Amino acid sequence: MAQTLTDEERFIEAMGRLQQDEQPIVVQMDKTTAFLLLSTIQLAMRHPAFSPLIKKRVLVVAQHLEAAVCGSDSALQEVAARGWEPAADALPVLLTPMVKA
């Protein structure tokens, strides 16, 4: 009789398949959405349970987003740089009134 895999075992197998698939994906989004995604990544990476192995890979994605969104705009660069600083978390939320649903 075949053994049924647990959800965790199925996930581990699926992740193994993903790691072997080197085909890149393309995601398109507007720059505001990309900036919000960058901000969310910055916040998530500070969670104490965030795996250092995952953090290393996610950081590369975040850096690409930051470069693509901020470009040479010094104001955006400054806000994005603050996103890497936990001490800046207490700053007022600047984007909330500007983001459209």
| Residues 34-45: tens digit of each pLDDT | 999 999 999 999
pLDDT at 65: 96
The number of distinct structural domains making up the chain is 1
In a domain, 57, yes or no: yes
CA 11 to chain CA centroid, Å, is 20
pLDDT at 95: 53
pLDDT at 40: 94
The average confidence (pLDDT) of the chain is: 88
- Residues 46-60 have a mean pLDDT of 93
In a domain, 49, yes or no: yes
Higher-confidence residue of 94 and 54: namely: 54
> 3-state class of 67 per DSSP?
helix
In a domain, 8, yes or no: no
Compute the distance between CA of residue 17 and CA of residue 14 in angstroms, rounded to an integer: 5
pLDDT at 11: 94
In a domain, 16, yes or no: no
- Structure-token match 């978390």, residue found: 89
Residue 42 sits in which domain range?
30-98
Token pair of 47 as six digits: 């969670």
In a domain, 46, yes or no: yes
In a domain, 79, yes or no: yes
In a domain, 35, yes or no: yes
